[in-house]
Amino acid sequence: MHSDDRPIGRLLNRREIIGLLGLAGAAWLGRGAHATAGATVCVARPAQTEGPYFVDEMLNRSDLRRDPRDGSLRSGTPLELAIVVSRWAADGCVPLADAQVDLWHCDHRGIYSGVRDPAFDTTGQAFLRGYQRSDAAGRVTFTTVYPGWYPGRTVHLHFKIRSPAARQPGFEFTSQLYFDDALTDRVYAAEPYAARGPRTVRNADDRIFRRGGTQLLLAVDTRDGGHAGTFQIALDGA
């Protein structure tokens, strides 16, 4: 049985995070603000649990669909994802360059790579995992597939933002991305998702989603037979 809904540690509240900022270089999200001309608009996003399936494969790549071990390609509806990372500043937000952004998620069968689980063993595989370094605009892009589902969780992606290599002390921020239920219903009506039958958990039924998931919904557009979306996030202490 998957255990991704089991929290790893405890999510801190805003007051606790603010108290940590000067002690450990912790990353926190600035509240929404009006940026100055030419600056990036700050967007508030909550942290969420990493879950048990993060594997630090250190795969620097934008296309996550292929397993680098054997060259196999994961099936599914194409998904183009851009994440734009900003640094919270006194006068607004500015792009955060050279941050490492990791993305990982399950395939259309609900299976993660590189882990041993009671339901599967994919050790030695590395599909649907990778990272990018943000460019001068704070932007990273990934080509992947729409994630599948598994019991106990709604449909989601995991992401982690780590400090630029030269930053001391460093920081790390982890959260998850979600999709509108109506969009997921449309995607899952087609293969290869339809063969699995109806999913068992929707957004409102997921206890992790209920802890800030509405602020982590990914707005997507239909594009070339797939979907594309951009997610903006601002970090304080970065």
Per-residue pLDDT of the chain (238 residues; tens, 9 = 90+): 454 543 333 333 333 333 333 323 333 443 333 344 445 567 869 999 999 999 999 999 999 999 999 999 999 999 999 999 999 877 788 999 999 999 999 999 999 999 999 999 999 999 999 999 999 999 999 999 999 999 999 999 999 999 987 777 889 999 999 999 999 999 999 999 999 999 999 999 999 999 999 999 999 999 888 999 999 999 986 6
pLDDT at residue number 60: 97
CATH, range 14-236: 2.60.130.10
Give the predicted TM-score (pTM) of the model.
Answer: 0.85
pLDDT at residue number 169: 83
Q: Which of 213, 142, 147, 145 is nearest to 175 (CA)?
A: 213
pLDDT at residue number 61: 98
Beta strands of 20-128 (E only): which ranges? 28-29, 78-89, 92-95, 100-104, 116-117, 120-121
What is the rounded CA–CA span in Å between residue 176 and residue 66? Answer: 22
Q: Which of 145, 143, 148 is nearest to 119 (CA)?
A: 148
Q: Which of 135, 182, 129, 184 is nearest to 158 (CA)?
A: 129
pLDDT at residue number 40: 59
Q: Could you report how far apart the first and last alpha carbons of the chain are, in Å?
A: 37
Are 46 and 234 in contact by the 8 Å Cβ rule? The answer is: no
Name the DSSP class of 191: T
Are 84 and 139 in contact by the 8 Å Cβ rule? The answer is: yes
Positive or negative: CA dihedral 3, 4, 8, 13? negative
pLDDT at residue number 178: 98
Q: In terms of DSSP bridges, do strands 156-162 and 172-178 run parallel, antiparallel, or are they unpaired?
A: antiparallel
Q: Which of 92, 74, 216, 224 is nearest to 159 (CA)?
A: 216
pLDDT at residue number 170: 87
